[in-house]
Amino acid sequence: MARRRVVVTGSIKGSRTAWLFLGFILRLYHIQPIFVHPKRPLPKSFKGLIISGGVDICPKTYGHDEPFVCEEARDRMELELLQKAYDQGLPIFGICRGMQLINVFFGGTLHPDIHDLDLNRPHPNSPFPINTIEIIPKTRLHEILKTTRLKANALHHQAIETLGENLRISAKDSNDLIQAIEHTERFILGVQWHPEYLPYSPVHRRLFQAFANSL
């Protein structure tokens, strides 16, 4: 089977580990990843888009002015790729900051720092699957994962505040923080956790299988 070319985004520095894990799991499903960052030329054609995790989205991108360390060039690159993929009807999968950027692309906003929120319990921060995620029934995510609850890692300190247009929530955690979103009509899916770091889990691999099936 010919490998389908899919763009996978990242930062100029700091994305090597995520790309290593993503490259491994994508090749399992006959996908050829094209890794791009703001200093690499963007491919003219591709079959799908994965926006990986990484540094915070610049707050001014969604109307805030908090002075966070961010990578404006990456924000611009990914928003350009999102627009191109959306216009061409290509499948889009966002991981962690990727989910957040999908929300911003559709007009949503973010909480710049969830530690400023009144949470039910301390927010976990771990690459290991210690965060309990509740999947909302009758969503695309529920159809893909075939479960209503799973354990996932948590490596984020920002979260969705207001939901973008034509998006719906498909998972939350025990702090009522949004953990997954999806487009109401197309294969545009975002998860707040990092399934690529859990390749041993059949449930988490189903996300990549579904993305591959949508190409």
Which residue numbers are catalytic?
96, 194, 196
Query: What is d(CA 200, CA 195) in angstroms, rounded to the nearest whole number?
Result: 10
For Cα atoms 183, 78, 142, give the angle at the middle one, nearest 5 degrees: 25
Query: What is d(CA 184, CA 166) in angstroms, rounded to the nearest whole number?
Result: 6
Which is nearest to 176 in space by CA: 209, 128, 206, 132?
132
Query: What is d(CA 170, CA 194) in angstroms, rounded to the nearest whole number?
Result: 16
Rg, the chain, Cα only = 16
